[in-house]
Structure 1
Amino acid sequence: MAETTLVIAGRHYAIRCRDGEEAHLGHLATLIEDKARVAQQSTPGLTEVRTLLFAALFLADELNDLKREVAGRQTSLPLDGDDEASARAIEALAGRIEKLRERLAARTAKA
């Protein structure tokens, strides 16, 4: 089992994870940290708990929007038999593309 330290809202959190998951957890922590920074900038003086609450709400809102978008795409796809496997593959690719877009946007925002 591996151990890594995540920095979120200015605090360090030592956590254990499976070997090899450190980079992925670091990436997730960066997403949370970015949202926490937005919360702190838009509402100065937030407590740590409220900062993390707003970061979680921002992320939940984005997730909800993505789920609605995926659901809308699914209802517009005519599927029968073999088409369903193709649709799943396309949705998986769309998810990967969205993650790449988020990473690029995060890097652009930092620059």
Structure 2
Amino acid sequence: MAEITLQIDGRNYPVACDDGQEDRVCQLGAYVDQRIKEVTHAAAGSRSQAMMLTSLLLADEVFDLHEKANAAGQTAAKLQNEPKTITYQGLPPADEQEITTLISKMTARVEQIRIRAQKAS
């Protein structure tokens, strides 16, 4: 276990976290500190009131993200169950003409081979 100190709203808080998670926990602490500063700047009040309002704002963000994630999951499930429509776009006309010509030549060649084989037997 690693131990770090977070500074939030001008106070230091020792926090234990898993090894390797120090940077992430520091980022989270900095985010909470930023949000508390925004709340304190927007509304005067006690430190505990600022912490409570910040907690509500962060909870609101979490709820919004959960709702968006659920909606995205439902949309993905719907799309997964819908039949896929494949629309043939076709080849460019010049390519189609070239393929048609090649098929005609091959058909004629096969016919010539068939006739020769018939005469030989």
RMSD: 1.4
2: CA distance, partners of 1:27 / 1:60: 17
Any idea what the Cα deviations from partners look like across 1:31-80, whole Å, max 9, x if unmatched?
Answer: 11111011101112x22221111111111111111111111222222235
TM-score with structure 1 setting the length? 0.64
Aligned to 1:91: none
What SS does structure 1 have at the residue aligned with 2:56? helix
Aligned to 2:33: 33
Aligned to 2:49: 50
2: CA distance, partners of 1:76 / 1:18: 35
Unpaired segments ≥5 residues, structure 2? 82-121
- Number of aligned pairs? 79
Determine which structure has more spread, i.e. the larger CA radius of gyration: 2
Any idea what the Cα deviations from partners look like across 1:3-46, whole Å, max 9, x if unmatched?
Answer: 111011111111222222211110110111111011101112x2
Aligned to 1:59: 58
TM-score with structure 2 setting the length? 0.59
**Matched letter for residue 70 of structure 1:** A
Q: Does 1:7 align with 2:10?
A: no
Higher relative contact order (CA 8 A, sep 6+): 1
1: CA distance, partners of 2:19 / 2:28: 16
